[in-house]
Structure 1
Amino acid sequence: MTAFDPKPFLARPGVTELLDALHVDKGGVRLVGGAVRDHLLGAPVSDLDVATIYEPPRVIGYLEGAGIKAVPTGIDHGTITAVSQGTVVEVTTLRADVDTDGRRATVAFTTEWHQDANRRDFTINALYADPKTGEIFDYHDGLADLEARRIRFIGDPRARIAEDHLRILRFFRFHARFAEGAPDADGLAACADMANTLKSLSRERIADELLKLLALPDPHATVEVMQANGIFEPVLPEISAAGVERLKQLLVFEQASGRKFRPIRRLAALLPRDPDVARDVASRLKFSKEQRDRLSSAAVPAEGSARELAYRLGPLFAIDRIALTPWWESASGKSREDAVRYIERWDVPRLPVKGGDLIKMGLAAGPMVARTLRAIENEWIDNDFADDATFDAIVERHLACARSDSDA
């Protein structure tokens, strides 16, 4: 683990001006949370969050007085989005929970840093750093947990989960992202005992957290622990041990073929190979139409050549089906890995003829046009997207058949 060096943060445009506006030299502001954690791990830091002792109206006054844009994005909970020379920083007043119901919290503002740390979820997320000197403030042994690659709730895990039930899923996502070995025993036991509280959450929040977990490089071991401990049962009982094994096989395929991490594809692996089940899950999780279509399509085993699948479904949906069908084998002898690489390079062609063209060739307008067009398309695909000469012969043959049927 590296020491905390504030220089990369101070080098960002507008950050020094923002910190000066919030009286950093008087100890009024510190870097907090993910920015501190990720920097200590030597990982890239994208979002920049700071905590301050000043209440929101005062924060806004200080920022605007320095010519910095201040947007009250979450002012009821103390958060102001500051935009300083194009750099976006979330500025949040120190808080203490007054009341929680597992979904939302009522907070009171405070000037005590340890009170703000007490209301956070995990020890590694309760680290603060002086943005000028780099001094670390650690109220719950977060540095030791970060060094040990361990995710641990602050204080009593059950109390933290009671404050926000989503912390159950966050516990596993953070374990998959940062930890090594088995999950913290106390945290795991609390999550398993309180898994039913997930039912009280909006399905959108569950979906967002689940997809973030499945977007991580290798979530299999964590998902396996979750399934074995009944974490999915209250909200996604369709996920079984067989699904976890399919996820493992998919991850092996992704590694062998250099696939990108696709969380919807990985979710499809966890579910039974049944489009109706996939549609039900997608509806329950409030997925977009595109996500619903993709999840239900991925539940269908791959049949046909790689090019036929790419043509009929589109490249992404075709790759989903091939990736999730271990027994699929290309008629050309291509492996699944070679097939998906080919699909990504292949320019999917368009059928060279349209219904209007058939009418111009003498076919009467009506249902026969659509049937003939489908027949032409199917034979064109069966002939591996035949060349121009062969295609012309296919069109002539089907036109002749259509005329004959019309005259009969």
Structure 2
Amino acid sequence: MERLTLPPASWRTRPGLDALATALGAEEGAARYVGGAVRDTLLGLPVADIDIATAHPPQQVITRLASAGIKAIPTGLAHGTITAVSAGTVVEVTTLRRDVATDGRHAQVAFTDDWQEDAARRDFTMNALYADPVSGTLFDWFGGLDDLAARRVRFIGDPYRRIAEDHLRILRFFRFHARFGDTPDSAGLDACTDRANDLMALSRERISAELLKLLVAKGAVPVVALMVERGIFRPVLPEIVDVPALTALAEAEAAAGVAPDAIRRLAALIPPATAEAVGARLRLSNADRKRLIAAHDGPGSEGARGLAYRVGREIALDRLLLAGADVKELQDWSPPRLPVGGGDLVTRGIARGPEVARALREIETRWIAEGFPDASRTAQIADMVTGQLLGADSNS
């Protein structure tokens, strides 16, 4: 049988990576690349994060790295995870593990030296692929290579058991399918449908993080439609119902050359009146809650650039795209600053206080209406407005 190897990839030549693999005993088979770096390389995709699995216990990992002059940060020592920084390259190093106890949210683990046992506790077959750092030899115990070739996201072993171990795997199943999948695995789909209520046991932060990643995946629209059809969101986010609006938004984003945005897409999926409650439930940041609430406020009456000046480019894009309005005017354009200030108006004779603010508002409105003219024209507008205000005051 032909030995399969990991193809060459730019990430494999990052500074310090070979030294790290050597320090962990890669030459003796004690360290292997695992997970996303292996999967994405096989798919021809760029690799961001690198993970290494090792047979060495955590404390021994720290000792080995220190001896090689490599920085070791115990980011998840209880679960065997250490962040290694080698010549500026950051790698997550994790000791081989097996689950001792799980409750759907947390796992209690024990360390092992059995590679297949470590692979068996992972979620999907495509994420349980390992590669030798020296030879590139691939290790696949559960058919992950075949599933990768078929673009099939498949749970390792019994889907119900995998979901019982970590309920977040329900959302991960759909997110990975949106990224990599073709036809959904029927056994996994049925298990996720049957166990959708398990999502209620998860923290809203974990749900939020997974959902926002899903919404910008390549196949987000059909996958969200499938999730709505299967009632996946109903236990935790029953407000997600408007798949046609998401479809229209995705088409508008693509037509305008605007990158998909998770908050904007979430806004499309929910009734506007629920935005505040949904934002709070998902523990979104204040800025993202503000966007979610404002997203359906419409295109405004001052044009695309006027709206962007008033509310910022990001919220303006949300409002315009969701309203089906043109956003071409915002391409390669940033809102300018009004070329006059309160001090300029005082020198023109406006009394300090509310009248200055009133005059600035009027100047700003005319400046926007004229398409943000230059300082010379803005000065003329300021002269007209101040002249009118001073004339009105003298006649009163």
Q: How does 1:4-403 map to 2 (within 5 A)?
A: 4-5=6-7, 8=10, 10-181=12-183, 183-240=184-241, 243-272=242-271, 274=272, 276-304=273-301, 305-326=303-324, 328=325, 336=326, 340-385=327-372, 387-388=377-378, 389-401=380-392, 403=393
Alignment deviations for residues 260-308 of structure 1 (CA, whole Å, 9 cap, x no partner): 1221111111122x2x522221111111121111222212111221121
State whether residues 380 and 394 of structure 1, in contact with CA within 8 Å, keep that contact through their aligned partners in structure 2.
no
State whether residues 380 and 391 of structure 1, in contact with CA within 8 Å, keep that contact through their aligned partners in structure 2.
no
Flag the 1:324–1:96 CA change in 2: closer, same or farther, 3 A.
Answer: same
Alignment deviations for residues 317-368 of structure 1 (CA, whole Å, 9 cap, x no partner): 2121111112x4xxxxxxx1xxx23223334233344344444434444444
Flag the 1:12–1:369 CA change in 2: closer, same or farther, 3 A.
Answer: closer
Runs (5+) with no aligned partner, structure 2: none
Flag the 1:222–1:17 CA change in 2: closer, same or farther, 3 A.
Answer: same
State whether residues 32 and 52 of structure 2, in contact with CA within 8 Å, keep that contact through their aligned partners in structure 1.
yes
SS in structure 1 at match of 2:299: coil
SS in structure 2 at match of 1:345: coil
Distance 2:262 2:60 in 1: 42
State whether residues 81 and 90 of structure 1, in contact with CA within 8 Å, keep that contact through their aligned partners in structure 2.
yes
Q: Report which stretch shifted further, 96-105 or 311-320.
A: 311-320
Distance 1:111 1:251 in 2: 46
State whether residues 29 and 50 of structure 1, in contact with CA within 8 Å, keep that contact through their aligned partners in structure 2.
yes
Distance 2:337 2:365 in 1: 13
Shift of 1:245: 0.9
SS in structure 2 at match of 1:234: coil
Distance 2:232 2:276 in 1: 21
Distance 1:252 1:381 in 2: 29
Distance 2:7 2:333 in 1: 47
Distance 1:52 1:61 in 2: 14
State whether residues 22 and 28 of structure 1, in contact with CA within 8 Å, keep that contact through their aligned partners in structure 2.
yes
Alignment deviations for residues 150-172 of structure 1 (CA, whole Å, 9 cap, x no partner): 00111111111111111111100
Shift of 1:255: 1.5
Distance 1:290 1:7 in 2: 38
Flag the 1:227–1:19 CA change in 2: closer, same or farther, 3 A.
Answer: same
Distance 1:311 1:399 in 2: 28
Runs of 4+ in structure 1 over 4 Å off: 6-10, 383-386
Shift of 1:384: 4.2
Q: Which residue of 2 aligns with 1:332?
A: none
Flag the 1:44–1:366 CA change in 2: closer, same or farther, 3 A.
Answer: closer
RMSD: 2.0
Distance 1:107 1:52 in 2: 15
Alignment deviations for residues 61-93 of structure 1 (CA, whole Å, 9 cap, x no partner): 111112211111111000111111221111111
SS in structure 1 at match of 2:22: helix
Distance 2:234 2:310 in 1: 35
Shift of 1:14: 1.7
SS in structure 1 at match of 2:135: coil
State whether residues 3 and 40 of structure 1, in contact with CA within 8 Å, keep that contact through their aligned partners in structure 2.
no
Distance 1:119 1:349 in 2: 54
Alignment deviations for residues 24-82 of structure 1 (CA, whole Å, 9 cap, x no partner): 22211111111111111111122111111111011111111122111111110001111
Distance 2:311 2:390 in 1: 27
Q: Which residue of 2 aligns with 1:331?
A: none
Flag the 1:3–1:26 CA change in 2: closer, same or farther, 3 A.
Answer: closer
- TM-score relative to the length of structure 1: 0.89
Distance 1:143 1:64 in 2: 35
State whether residues 375 and 398 of structure 1, in contact with CA within 8 Å, keep that contact through their aligned partners in structure 2.
no
